[in-house]
């Protein structure tokens, strides 16, 4: 008998403790039903160093079964070029069909009967089938520039995006949700625009479900990040007593329910995916990779703020920096690519010449390997900085206004990563396991489920969880 198909839901950074809280209060009925019919685990990451507790590292470890010290994929854009065998390639090599829809830091693939859409931060026009590029490129632009009021999308791109959605699963429910969202911003409070992240999730689900029903791959993953974003931005509104810098009553009135809103929106999507998996006869797995907790560093200086370039291309042109390409990645960071390492080094030196009057450099850098002609950089000014603050260019002696180059993102960082994650496998058992599982166990568990052995290459340190699953697995 062929193994059951698997539908993997990657709901990034949902917190086991908040899931417990809001399941108990009745806010998350679908999560409650899923946990009651699943083997559920709290997961541990593959690293102890908090600097490595990043989703683009942890999801890459999950997808490959390799720990960070084995794969060394450190940046969000590294996974697309890394050579390791991940679950998608392992299954394709065994003649299976797969789908990856926005899963983080996955290398692109193109295989008959399969589909691939990169995560919004690493999108390079390499979707498969190629028609997905219309959708993925538009979404990527919106996600990367969501905070930038000066960024705009042309009418032609908007029209192409809408036409794509109409042909690829746009639902009446999503259209209605868009109308309600816009009405709430206009008639109630424009600050409720933070809830637009749930609209993107609905659009993602519409397109994914249409693809999934049409192609019915043996294994497919679906990734969304909206609630992780809300937690990073609004944890101090959820739990103001934990912070020194506390929002006022007006802000709490607007944003105090933002995180619970995100969980409830994901709960509604989960109900949809549970129905999809049941109708397609697929085993449903829910995973978060890691979670979050209050971010309390920098409270003494007013909390950590982020500043972002108005126009990354215009900035590099202004600095006379030639490059092959440059892309925003996360929040205040960018990845630039060059023809040669000499060009990379010259670009770093030129950007490093910018400093505040205090002497603090405007940008910091995360070095790549010496042989790679790439530069990962971001604004390192974490204190609230006004637009008229002076920036000095040591290369030319010129002075600039801070606001000419950068703008401040409104939200103060409030959440940071926590090592605990959730892994629920819908076996029908309802067993809540006391012992933790490693994220490195997921790769061998999936291979075991499909009757496959480990690929050649570095030894995988995880173990299959199948022997630990409840007795009702066969009947689930």
pLDDT digits (tens, 9 = 90+) for 334-354: 989 999 999 999 999 999 999
Scan for tokens 């950089």, then name that residue.
Answer: 377
Burial class (CB in 10 A: 0-12, 13-18, 19+), 199: middle
Three-class secondary structure of residue 70 per DSSP: helix
**Is the pLDDT reported for residue 153 higher than 80?**
no
Tell me the DSSP string of 41-65: EEEE-S---GGG--HHHHHHHHHH-
Chain segment 241-284, per-residue pLDDT in tens: 999 999 999 999 999 999 999 999 999 999 999 999 999 999 99
Q: Where are the domains of the chain?
A: 5-296+415-475, 306-408
State the pairing for strand pair 354-356/307-309. Answer: unpaired
Q: What is the separation of C-alpha 299 from the centre of its chain, rounded to a whole number of angstroms?
A: 26
Chain segment 315-329, per-residue pLDDT in tens: 999 999 999 998 888
pTM: 0.91
Other CB atoms closer than 10 Å to residue 390's CB: what's the count?
12
Strand partners, 223: 10
Rounded to the nearest 10°, the torsion over CA 370, 372, 373, 376 is -80
User: Which residue from 381, 382, 387, 383 is spatially nearest to 401, judged by alpha carbons?
Assistant: 387
pLDDT of residue 369: 59
**Is the pLDDT reported for residue 149 higher than 80?**
no
End-to-end CA distance of the chain: 15
Whole-angstrom Cα distance, residue 74 to residue 106?
13
pLDDT of residue 331: 77
Other CB atoms closer than 10 Å to residue 394's CB: what's the count?
11
State the pairing for strand pair 115-117/325-328. Answer: unpaired
pLDDT of residue 359: 93
Q: What is the separation of C-alpha 32 from the centre of its chain, rounded to a whole number of angstroms?
A: 24
Whole-angstrom Cα distance, residue 255 to residue 249?
10
Scan for tokens 């309802």, then name that residue.
Answer: 430
**Helix 258-280 vs helix 16-24: crossing angle, to nearest 10:** 90
Strand order in the sheet with 363-366: 325-328, 333-337, 374-379, 363-366
User: Which residue from 141, 50, 76, 101 is spatially nearest to 330, judged by alpha carbons?
Assistant: 76
Q: Ranked by mean pLDDT, which of 298-302, 312-316, 439-443 comes out on top?
A: 439-443
**Is the pLDDT reported for residue 146 higher than 80?**
no
Strand partners, 417: 292
pLDDT of residue 475: 39
Burial class (CB in 10 A: 0-12, 13-18, 19+), 27: middle
Whole-angstrom Cα distance, residue 308 to residue 48?
30
Chain segment 379-426, per-residue pLDDT in tens: 999 888 999 999 999 999 999 999 999 999 888 899 999 999 999 999
Three-class secondary structure of residue 302 per DSSP: coil
CATH class of 5-296+415-475: alpha beta
Q: Which two tokens mark 382?
A: 């974490």
Whole-angstrom Cα distance, residue 397 to residue 379?
20
- Binned at pLDDT 50, 70 and 90, residue 472 comes out as very low
Scan for tokens 């029209």, then name that residue.
Answer: 159
DSSP letter, residue 5: E
Maximum C-alpha span of the chain:
73
Chain segment 293-305, per-residue pLDDT in tens: 999 988 888 888 9
**Helix 226-238 vs helix 196-215: crossing angle, to nearest 10:** 150
Burial class (CB in 10 A: 0-12, 13-18, 19+), 10: buried
Element (H, E) at 354: strand 354-356
Write the CA distances from 410 to 191, 194, 234, 384, 401, integer angstroms.
Answer: 11, 11, 11, 10, 19
Give the contacts of 280 (CB within 8 A, at least 6 positions apart).
5, 7, 212, 213, 216
**Is the pLDDT reported for residue 150 higher than 80?**
no
């Amino acid at each position: 008998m062929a193994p059951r198909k698997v539908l993997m839901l990657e709901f990034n950074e949902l917190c086991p403790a908040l899931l417990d809280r809001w399941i108990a209060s009745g806010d998350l009925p679908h999560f409650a039903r899923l946990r009651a019919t699943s083997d559920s685990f709290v997961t541990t990451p593959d690293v102890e160093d908090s600097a490595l507790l990043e989703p683009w590292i942890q999801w890459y470890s999950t997808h490959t079964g390799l720990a960070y010290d084995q794969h060394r994929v450190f940046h969000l854009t590294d996974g697309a070029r890394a050579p390791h065998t991940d679950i998608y390639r392992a299954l394709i090599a065994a003649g299976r069909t797969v789908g990856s829809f926005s899963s983080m830091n996955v290398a692109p693939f193109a295989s008959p009967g399969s589909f691939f859409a990169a995560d919004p931060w690493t999108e390079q026009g390499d979707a498969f089938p190629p028609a997905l590029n219309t959708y993925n490129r538009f979404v990527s632009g919106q996600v990367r520039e969501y905070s930038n009021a000066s960024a705009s999308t042309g009418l032609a791109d908007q029209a192409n995006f809408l036409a794509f959605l109409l042909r690829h699963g746009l639902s009446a429910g999503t259209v209605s949700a868009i109308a309600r969202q816009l009405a709430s911003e206009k008639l109630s409070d424009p600050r409720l625009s933070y809830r637009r992240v749930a609209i993107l999730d609905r659009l993602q689900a519409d397109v994914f479900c249409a693809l999934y029903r049409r192609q019915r791959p043996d294994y497919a993953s679906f990734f969304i990040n909206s609630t992780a974003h809300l937690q990073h931005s609004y944890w101090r509104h959820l739990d103001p007593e934990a912070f020194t810098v506390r929002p006022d009553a007006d802000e709490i009135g607007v944003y105090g329910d933002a995180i619970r809103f995100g969980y409830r929106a994901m709960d509604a999507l989960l109900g949809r995916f549970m129905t999809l998996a049941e109708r397609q006869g697929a085993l449903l797995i829910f995973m978060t990779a890691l979670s979050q907790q209050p971010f309390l560093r920098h409270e003494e200086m007013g909390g950590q703020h982020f500043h972002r370039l108005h126009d990354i291309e215009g900035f590099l042109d202004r600095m006379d920096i030639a490059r092959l390409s440059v892309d925003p990645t996360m929040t205040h960071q960018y990845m630039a690519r060059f023809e040669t390492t000499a060009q990379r080094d010259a670009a770093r030196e030129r950007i490093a010449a910018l400093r505040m009057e205090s002497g603090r450099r405007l940008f910091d850098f995360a070095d790549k390997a010496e042989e790679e002609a790439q530069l990962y950089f971001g604004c390192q000014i974490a204190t609230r900085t006004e637009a008229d603050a002076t920036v000095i260019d040591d290369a030319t002696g010129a002075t600039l206004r801070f606001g000419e180059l950068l703008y401040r993102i409104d939200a103060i960082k409030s959440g940071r990563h926590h090592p605990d994650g959730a892994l629920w496998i819908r076996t029908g058992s309802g067993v809540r396991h006391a012992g933790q599982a490693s994220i490195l166990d997921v790769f061998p568990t999936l291979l075991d489920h499909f009757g496959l052995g480990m690929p050649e290459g570095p030894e995988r340190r995880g173990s299959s969880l199948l022997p630990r699953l409840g007795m009702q697995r066969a009947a689930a």
